[in-house]
Amino acid sequence: MFTPASPDGYREVLPGIQLKTLTHGAKTLFAEFRLKKGSALPRHSHPHEQTGYLVSGALRLTVGAETNDARPGDSWCIAGGVEHEAVALADTVAIEVFSPVREDYLPAAAPR
C-alpha cells in the first residue's frame, strides 16, 4: 500500500492532540501525532506494542515508573499492557507504529 502525503486527515483525539493514520497493513499501523505545548496524554495502557520517534518538539514520556524527556531523534518502544503517559513540553510531532493494528485508529473509525 502506498499513501501519498496530504495535509488532510487529522482529527483531535484529546484537547491539543491531533492524530493522523499515515498508513496501515495487516499487522501494523503507522500514525502521526501533533501535540500542542502543554497538552497531555493521560496515563493509559492498551494491548498494542507501540514504537515511537520524536520528529520535532519536546515530550516528557513516562513508561511504567520511568520518565524521560524526549528530544528530536529520540525513540521508544512500549510493550503492550504497560501504562504510559506524555506531556508536550513544546509543540511536538511524533510518529508511532502500533502492532497489532489499532482498529480505533483506522480512518474508517474516525468520527464524521
Q: Please give the distance of CA 88 from its chain centroid, rounded to a whole number.
A: 12
> Phi and psi (nearest 5°) for 11?
-140, 145
Where does residue 27 fall: left (phi above 0), alpha (psi -120 to 50 degrees), or beta otherwise? alpha
> Letter for the amino acid at 6?
S
Q: For residues 28, 110, 32 and 62, what is the CA-based torsion angle, rounded to 10 degrees?
A: -80
Within 13 A of 24's CA, how many CA atoms are on the CB side?
20
| Residue range 44-68, pLDDT digits in tens | 999 999 999 999 999 999 999 999 9
Per residue in 62-112, pLDDT tens?
Answer: 999 999 999 999 999 999 999 999 999 999 999 999 999 999 999 875 543
What residue segments make up the domains of the chain, in order of their start? 30-104
Which fold would CATH assign to domain 30-104?
Jelly Rolls (2.60.120)
Name the pTM for this structure. Answer: 0.90
DSSP state of 37: T
